[in-house]
Amino acid sequence: MAQFKHPQILIASNLTDGEVVFLGASGWERDHRRARVARSAEEAAALEASGKRDISANRVVDVYLADVEIGGDGAPTPMHYREKMRLKGPSVRLDLGKQAAGGAP
């Protein structure tokens, strides 16, 4: 098992509409601030196992763990560029997705 360095969250794409989703306490969330945070390698493995079950059930695709920083409010924020861009929604049409709805972080 790889060395655990940072807290992590599980990210995927919703199979129905392609939206980015985050595994939360009671299922997949569209808001990264409600994601469950793994603080150990064991917790990260449990998140991944849950994601793999949901892949098999055809709920999500492209499941992976992402390193996060925990803010003063306790909310996780991705550390890397790819995940920061995924939070914002489509980057080619600002009239679609989260930007259009005013929900881009």
φ/ψ (deg, to 5) at 78: -55, 145
Other beta carbons less than 10 A from residue 69's beta carbon: 11
Q: pLDDT of 39-67, one tens digit each? A: 999 999 999 999 999 999 999 999 999 99
Predicted model pTM: 0.82
Q: Is 78 helix (H, G, I), strand (E, B) or coil?
A: strand
CB-CB contact of 7 with 39 (8 Å)? yes
What's the order of all strands across the beta sheet hosting 60-70? 27-29, 20-24, 8-14, 60-70, 76-78
Mean pLDDT, to the nearest integer, of 1-28? Answer: 89
CA distance 52 to 88: 25
Specify the pairing of strand 60-70 against strand 8-14. antiparallel
Q: Residue 104 pLDDT more than 60?
A: no
pLDDT tens for 64-101 read: 999 999 999 999 999 999 998 888 776 666 676 666 77
